[in-house]
Amino acid sequence: MIVADTDVWARAFLNDDAAQAQRARRAIAEARSRGGVFLPLIVLAELSWVLRSRWSAERVLSTLESLLRTRGVTVESPALARQAFKAARANGGGFADQLIAQVSFANGANQVITFDEKFARSAKVRLLR
């Protein structure tokens, strides 16, 4: 199993550099068929920020969420990722913020503090004033 870092996934999805995009897609496809690709949560968070700079929030969520169902891709803590996708759709605040919250709650935190008003609408997230 290999790990593709954020820029490899970004090139594969954005096709903003045609040569790199082709190499990225080829490498990911090959890895998926030969032991798989591990996708750390931090890469999902980073990738959501990169994709969000070019795509709508829903397109980002749908694309990243599809990786949970992609044969040959193993997402770190898929249950936490699913919770973050669900919370991002329900409450806003962005996938990366919601992922931070879900990972934190799973590890014993009882509250997240933020300056992000949209994110602060989520359960157990408090706006700092």
Position 52, amino acid: R
Sign, CA dihedral 104-106-107-108, equals: positive
Tokens of 4: 């593709």
Q: Which pLDDT score, from 0 to 100, does residue 74 have?
A: 98
CB 101 within 8 A of CB 124: yes
Cα–Cα distance, 45 to 12 (Å, whole number): 16
In the predicted model, residues of the chain with pLDDT beneath 70 are none
CB 111 within 8 A of CB 124: yes
Q: Which pLDDT score, from 0 to 100, does residue 91 have?
A: 87
